[in-house]
Structure 1
């Protein structure tokens, strides 16, 4: 009974199951029994769950006739002399007298019990906290080593690493700390609970605690971007049009946001209204800077933002902080230009495109400017445009439109001829030129980079081909198809060689 009382006390203290403690005790007694009777024997111990009586026994497995280990196995014939109804696979159980624990045996048993109880405690901690990942917890600082803080959560210990602390933040033993559980995982030294005070979701969870509308699901936090300890942006959206999401997060006289700021050591927080329209969301994210206009590239997820000259430093922020946080918040790459820079660049684009049309189509600058104004940016666009589309330009009729398209096609033909000649001069073979997907300009680019034969092309990896072709590059899948087409002759030659070898073998056999 004393054994059961000890098991109950340990189970209560460590908050683990009583049976797990008793199983640890059984293993300890088992180990001591093997030390006394021989480690080669299958010694098993059992503690009666009601009386606390210790039962120790040796188990011998019954086998057909071939005994591999005399210490743990007996033949069926021998076993049936002791128990007539025994079968192969059963065990003969020989009770053993209770062992008198010596000092060494007792010490060994204690170590086994302590280790097993510790393992059970860690397992309990892991099972309890694995489902709490993503929660905020409160704890006491237990110790600080090399800047890493061990936090006592009451029923478990967690680690708050130095790089997960806010800058200039220091804790001492006994300090209260609030942090976010960002990971719970099994490691060689047992389950580990990892905390963070720099994680973006730590701030989101703090707002959830301070703003009832977020907790109730009326206001949703769409995105968070943080420069821990310095500045942060949080995008919020209200599912109820009558509730202002920004006002609800700020609170009366800023009470709600100030509670979060206080916890984050004075980190400045910009609360941004989320918008389904990407351009509007980016403009909101760049607050407090004012934006004049935006130009979006949907495929590359890039956006060009034009701001007044006096707003440039505000939009970029100190050391690029404002634009960097806006990029993290929106998921778009943001390029910022002043109105003057944008105007100069646009003028340069108009001038260069106009000059291209003047040179390629042999037209005056008036016609060239009209084409640029209508959005044409290359000779190819004019060559393959519909006559009706060109004739709709102010001052153009169908004859002018047809003449412009004819000149554009003639220019492209000349360009292709020049490129084909250049390709031949570079030594790019006709086999490579015959592959689908290669224009004369691309073939010249390949030749200039030393890719001249099918073997040269076949030796490339897809990413190497994409790098060579730059802006003219196809998709990665198309690049792989081109390279596989270039390698086809390798397999054909291998099959041909195999066929030839077969024919020679046939001739030799005939002779």
Structure 2
């Protein structure tokens, strides 16, 4: 039976309860820290090589100190181990793996031992407090925190959150915003990191979600999930745009966020130091969404290019500066909010550009088909983009053009096909002369003119093409989109990987051949 020597310390219970309550950590963690401190003092007195353990009774505060010896078959360390035979002299039921416990008298803490114990307890309590802080604020990531400015260091603001300190870096502070010690601060918990010096809590007042969280506090419909904030774009301290959507068709999301006489939005504006906020209706249709995002500018036409994820926005001449905004702010925020590349054109510019395109396409038809400008203009007006369209379109579509009978349509198509064939022959001859390989010519997506352009830039083989970046290929062949260029380059690189497989198979074949040769040699030896 285990005999213990203990010393009752009721005051330990009071100390543990007080520390746990003041530091906001678990009572058991305080007891663990105390036990480790007493254990360290015991080892200091009896020798660090011994396995000395301390135990504090959680009800009486009694301290028990004992030396533990592990029961083993063969002793390797006499100070921490004992054989089964030796152990059974004290405990007849002792088995391998058990521990023989030798009680030690309670130690009288000297000044050094007491100081060491205090350091261990303080460190353990500090570690427990840091872990508690990290877990608490990790769960609060993405929320708004309220605190007081404790100090300001080189523009960085140290904020007291009550049970922890947080850092508000100067680049996360709204421009022209100044804080003094004692000021109350509201900020977004942007990041929580566990570092060697303890948990680091980083705040932000420029984060897009800070504004979204402020609106969630001011607008009950957002908190309840009736209204969703689909996106936020900010130029901190100057202007912002927020897209909202209502799951209830009876509720106007923009009006709900603005509030009666602007009361709700003004509360957020005041917190953000006068930042102007445009609240817009979110739409599933990209064109409508972009038009809304460019408010207050009026839009007359939208030209959508889904492949390049780009939109051309046409506005009245007097709306150009409003659509772009001061220093491009309005269009930049609209881009950040929608994710679409936006080009702003005036009606006059767009009309002039379209007219130039029509003139260029008309001239191309006149030269290629040897027709007058009336026929060429009719083809352009009906949506024919180039000679290939005329050469390979269904003849019925040509005959439907006003003034084109069967004979005229057939003649135009014959001329178009002849032109295409002659041009392809010229391109093929030029390709061969430039030394562009046949393998490269077989890559899907590259026409004769594209191959000639590549040859003129020294791209002659599949390897040359595979070494290009997609933007370089787009520069050589402007008609290609970024995605098309990427696909062509990957197709050109395919043989690299095929070569690896072939080499592997070849190596395997060589191994097999070598094995066969060895077998044959062995056979000859046996003979």
- The two structures share one fold, judged by TM-score above 0.5: yes
Residue 493 (structure 2) aligns with: 483
Cα offsets for 1:285-336 (capped at 9, x unmatched): 1111111111111222211111111111111111000111111112211110
1:455–1:487 CA contact under 8 A, matched in 2: no
Q: Secondary structure of the residue that 1:249 maps to in structure 2?
A: helix
Kindly report which structure 2 residues correspond to 1:15-26, keeping only aligned pairs within 5 A, or say none.
15-26=24-35
- Which deviates the most, 356-365 or 13-22? 356-365
In the alignment, is the contact (CA less than 8 A) between 1:296 and 1:304 conserved in 2?
yes
Structure 1 residue 405: Cα displacement: 2.6
Normalised by the length of structure 2, the TM-score is 0.89
Q: Which segment is superposed worse, 375-384 or 490-499?
A: 490-499
- The aligned counterpart of 1:392 is 400
- Measured on the aligned residues, the alpha-carbon RMSD in Å equals 2.6
Q: Which residue of 2 aligns with 1:258?
A: 266
Deviation sequence 1:413-468 (CA, Å, 0-9, x none): 22222222112112223343345554333333332333324554566678876776
Distance in 2 between residues matched to 1:68 and 1:481, nearest whole Å: 67
Distance apart, 1:201 and its partner CA:
1.3
Tell me the equivalent position of 1:283. 291
SS at match of 1:58: strand
Comparing 348-357 and 452-461, the one that deviates more: 452-461
Counterparts of 1:322-471 in structure 2, within 5 Å, are 322-454=330-462, 456=464, 471=479
Shift of 1:359: 1.8
1: distance between equivalents of 2:420 and 2:456? 21
CA contact (8 A) 2:462 2:492 kept: no
2:257 is aligned to: 249
Q: Are 2:96 and 1:88 aligned?
A: yes
Which residue, 35, 39, 55 being the options, matches 2:48?
Answer: 39
1:169 aligns with 2:177: yes
The separation in 1 between residues aligned to 2:499 and 2:225, in whole angstroms, is: 63
Return the offset for 1:371. 1.5
Say whether the 8 Å CA contact 1:164–1:199 is kept in structure 2.
yes
Q: 1:228 aligns to what?
A: 236
Q: 1:279 and 1:422 mapped to 2: Cα distance? A: 44
Counterpart position of 1:215: 223
Decide which moves more: 110-119 or 270-279.
Answer: 270-279
Is it true that 1:181 corresponds to 2:189 in the alignment? yes
Structure 1 position 62, deviation (Å): 2.1
In the TM superposition, residue 78 of structure 1 has moved relative to its aligned partner by 3.0
Q: Which of 157-166 and 421-430 deviates more?
A: 421-430
In 2 relative to 1, CA 362–156 (structure 1 residues): closer, same or farther, beyond 3 Å?
Answer: same
**Which one of the candidate residues 127, 132, 138 is aligned to 2:140?**
132
Q: Once the two structures are superposed, what CA deviation does each residue of 1:457-501 show, in whole Å capped at 9, x if it has no partner?
A: 566678876776554373635532431226645764775587579
Report which stretch shifted further, 281-290 or 73-82. 73-82
Residues 168 and 358 of structure 1: CA distance in aligned 2, closer, same or farther (over 3 Å): same
Taking structure 1 as reference, are residues 468 and 498 closer, same or farther at Cα in structure 2, changes over 3 Å only? farther
- 8 Å CA contact retained: 2:473, 2:485: no
Q: 1:97 — aligned with what?
A: 105
Of 462-471 and 222-231, more deviation after overlay is shown by 462-471
**Whole-Å separation in 2 of the counterparts to 1:175 and 1:424:** 77
Partner of 1:58: 67
Q: Compare 437-446 and 275-284 and name the one that shifted more.
A: 437-446
Distance 2:180 2:194 in 1: 28
* Aligned equivalents of 2:174, 2:411: Cα separation in 1: 69
Which deviations, in whole Å up to 9, do the C-alpha atoms of 1:194-243 show, x marking residues without a partner? 21111111111111222222223332222111100001111222333333
Distance change in 2, residues 1:62/1:218 (3 Å): same
More displaced, 328-337 or 488-497? 488-497
CA distance in 1, matches of 2:63, 2:507: 79
Q: Could you say if the C-alpha distance between residues 179 and 503 of structure 1 is closer, same or farther in structure 2, counting changes exceeding 3 Å? A: closer
Verify the 8 A CA contact 2:465 2:489 in the aligned structure 1.
Answer: no
* Offset, 1:21: 0.6
Name which of structure 1's ranges 423-432 and 464-473 shifts more when overlaid on structure 2: 464-473
Return the offset for 1:128. 1.9
1:27 aligns with 2:19: no
- Quote the residue 1:12 is aligned against: 21
Q: 1:190 maps to which residue? A: 198
Q: Matches of 2:442 and 2:222 in 1, distance apart?
A: 62
- Structure 1 match to 2:5: none
Structure 2 residue runs without a partner (length 5+): 1-9
Q: What residue in structure 2 maps to residue 306 of structure 1?
A: 314
TM-score, normalisation: structure 1 = 0.92
Deviates more, 1:374-383 or 1:444-453: 444-453
Q: Residues 24-55 of structure 1, C-alpha deviation per residue, up to 9 Å, x if partnerless?
A: 11111122222222222222111110111111
